[in-house]
Amino acid sequence: MLENYFPVLLFVLVGLAFGVVPMALGRLIGPHRPGEEKLSPYECGFGAFEDARMKFDVRYYLIAILFILFDLEIAFLFPWATVFRDFIGQGGAAAWFVFGSVMVFLAILVIGYIVEWKNGALDWE
């Protein structure tokens, strides 16, 4: 039973190795010469203008959430597009059901997009 989980464990270990080993090697092998400029929080040449805890405009978050929403739409469409050819080859009711379900999914997303557009969520001043 546990041998079925070995590939998952191996995948996690290799992923951790790809992330941790280069950082550890850079820390151990690389030069470490801290200075006043390197330890400062801003290395862009000038200090901060305002407090780091200033409030951001909500529109930044709204655009980010909308981007994630419509990006996930594409993420759901890729697997559907890859297996839809198999359903087309089989024909019958299964192909029409799969096609109809995705069209309903897209229709809901298009309606949501239109509502966001009408409410001015995509307008930038």
Within-domain flag for 124: no
**How would you write the pLDDT of the chain (125 residues) with one tens digit per residue?**
778 899 999 999 999 999 999 999 999 999 988 887 777 766 565 666 666 677 777 777 878 888 888 888 888 888 888 887 777 777 777 778 888 888 998 898 889 889 888 888 777 76
Angle at which helices 58-90 and 93-118 pack, to 10 degrees? 160
Q: Are 80 and 98 in contact (CB under 8 A)?
A: yes
What global pTM score does this model have?
0.48
Within-domain flag for 108: yes
DSSP SS3 for 47: coil
Q: Please, which residues have CB within 8 angstroms of residue 49's CB and are 6 or more apart in sequence?
A: none
Within-domain flag for 55: yes
**Domain holding 66: CATH number?**
1.20.58
* DSSP code, position 99: H
Which range marks the domain in which residue 50 is found? Answer: 2-118
Look at the chain and report how many structural domains it folds into.
1
Within-domain flag for 95: yes
Within-domain flag for 57: yes
Within-domain flag for 72: yes
